Structure 1
Amino acid sequence: MIKRLIVHIDEEKCDGCGACVDACAEGAIQIVNGRAKLVDEIYCDGLGACLGSCPKEAITIVETEAVPFNEEETKKHLEFLKSHSTPSCECHSFAKNHKLPNWPIQLKLVSVNAPFLKNCNLLIAADCTAFSYADFHSDIRKDKKLIIACPKLDDAKLYMEKLTDIFKLNNIKSVTVLRMAVPCCGGLTWIVKEALKLSDKDITLSEKLIDIDGTMKIY
């Protein structure tokens, strides 16, 4: 242990937006349980490249006793992150030439007062839809902020409560639910409708269905 400069993250201020993750070239910061975390002191060089990225000013540089920065271990860490970066519901992978409009996108990780939710048109998409519909980004996600969720595998009650708070706390202009045309996926629309009722907000709601052959279902 030596006395040196290192990143400190105030978890009370952090809303889990993930901007600092992109700004950290060493991969020292990751989103864990909806909050930014310094995953290991040896990956942080203390230079503070992430400081200006945080909209909540939750990141500071402090001088304290810490494990020395290890450049070799950091290189290995970055290679590991690169090799394990595969398309999934909780990673930065997305269709070529299309940037995600916000981060995080998984409903579990999204803060109910995340800045990107203010005055937005919101797309709530079932996890499988982006993998099933080739024009997801250009055709459906365009001009919308994105949240993804799975009504079958995730906690429906938790999602209903969280969406209720999101609708209450933010001036959401419209909500689009995108789901697969299979019975289990219908729960997503039900969750959103119930959350809208509980929030007592009059927000325009629309629903789009993707068939299992990857086409938009007309109904």
Structure 2
Amino acid sequence: MSTPAVREIIEIDEDLCVGCGNCVPSCHQGALQIIDGKARLISDLMCEGIGVCVGTCPTGAMRIERRPAEPYDEIRVMEKIAAAGPNVIKAHLEHLQQHRQDRYLAQALEYLAAHDLPDPLQATDSPGGHPPQGGCPGAAARTLGAAAGSGHPAAGTPAASTASATPAGTAAGASATPAPPVAKTAPGSELRQWPVQLHLLNPAAGYLQHADLLLAADCSAFASGDFHDRFLRGKALAIACPKLDDGQDIYLHKLIRMIEDARINTLTVLIMEVPCCSGLLRMAQAATAQAARKVPVKCIVLSLEGEVIQEDWV
């Protein structure tokens, strides 16, 4: 008999919480906010239970709870969110908007209508109480450039190069639900989303759904003068350093979730010729080996001068 899957998630004891805010910057996913003087988990969907926030709490109000890994249920989440008051409801809806979770946002609004609760997104001012304090702005998920409007490269741009080609037999992925542009990239930039560092990426973000993912070593963009046009065009981006970054078990877990939950189409690993960079390819291969579904993986190796010296589907 197989062991039931378990997920870990943060639980907050409201009686012990003093609203100091120490926990908020430690949440890479922006799932924690201080609202009405207390720490609130505004996104059950985004909380990965890593637990960095637990160690920052001076009163012991936070702990990691282990639960059966059930499918996400927005209505059940709204029952808990609604009990915490209108400010928490608003923060939760805004978080769903920012992460382009349109289906869950629609369910949340249906819950409000069914229970005769006002839609705080339509209000000009927040209800009474202290204004919410968000997480690190640098970790807030955003869709950039042409991808913000259509989910595709801008019309008239050349097709993706061989570095981004999908192998024969691989189906093209459907784009996430379009959303209004929230930012524009500089001329020549092919960056489609923010953030890009793998620790800050959430596998549930809309821009990762059915995406072709480029997993690039930190140094690669500096070595390659045509990084954007040759390697990044049409792809979501994650950057990491297999030698210097801590928490690589978290990286592995995130890549597995991107394959299984976000259902990325392809995974391209861009590394330098130095030996330590090969750890990024091994991580990608381990993720594809452990994931329940399989995706094709391409490895591109750059010389220190930025020239492609190896390019293979592995």
Give the TM-score normalised by the residue count of structure 2: 0.44
Cα deviation, residue 37, structure 1: 7.5
Structure 2 equivalent of residue 189 of structure 1: 281
Cα distance in 2 for partners of 1:212, 1:95 equals 26
Cα distance in 2 for partners of 1:66, 1:213 equals 53
Structure 2 equivalent of residue 116 of structure 1: 207
3-state secondary structure, aligned to 1:63: coil
Structure 2 equivalent of residue 98 of structure 1: 189
Cα distance in 1 for partners of 2:302, 2:186 equals 17
Larger % of strand: which? 1
Cα deviation, residue 120, structure 1: 1.3
* Aligned counterpart in structure 1 of residue 253 of structure 2, from 141, 157, 161: 161
Q: Which has the larger radius of gyration?
A: 2
Structure 1 equivalent of residue 306 of structure 2: 214
Cα pair 2:213 2:238 within 8 Å, conserved: yes
Cα distance in 1 for partners of 2:281, 2:302 equals 13
The letter for the 1-side match of 2:212 is N
Cα distance in 2 for partners of 1:176, 1:99 equals 16
Cα deviation, residue 194, structure 1: 0.2
Cα distance in 1 for partners of 2:252, 2:297 equals 15
Cα pair 2:191 2:232 within 8 Å, conserved: no
Bigger relative contact order (CA 8 A; separation at least 6)? 1
Structure 1 equivalent of residue 223 of structure 2: 132
1:129-164 deviations in Å (ceiling 9; x for gaps): 111111000011111111111111122211111111
- Cα RMSD of the aligned pairs, angstroms, is 3.7
Cα distance in 2 for partners of 1:164, 1:108 equals 14
Cα deviation, residue 53, structure 1: 6.2
Cα pair 1:124 1:149 within 8 Å, conserved: yes
Cα pair 2:190 2:232 within 8 Å, conserved: no
The letter for the 2-side match of 1:145 is A
Unaligned runs of 5+ residues in structure 1 are 1-11, 13-29, 40-50, 68-80, 82-91
Change in CA separation of 1:97 and 1:53 when aligned onto 2, cut-off 3 Å: farther
1:80-132 deviations in Å (ceiling 9; x for gaps): x9xxxxxxxxxx9x874214111221111111211111111111111111111
Unaligned runs of 5+ residues in structure 2 are 1-9, 11-24, 35-93, 109-119, 132-137, 139-182
Structure 1 equivalent of residue 30 of structure 2: 35
Cα pair 1:112 1:166 within 8 Å, conserved: yes
Cα distance in 2 for partners of 1:152, 1:207 equals 18
- Count of residue correspondences: 163
Structure 1 equivalent of residue 172 of structure 2: none
Cα distance in 1 for partners of 2:307, 2:228 equals 14
Cα deviation, residue 191, structure 1: 0.3
The letter for the 1-side match of 2:202 is S
3-state secondary structure, aligned to 2:301: strand
Cα deviation, residue 38, structure 1: 7.7
Matched-pair identity in %: 30
Cα pair 2:224 2:307 within 8 Å, conserved: yes
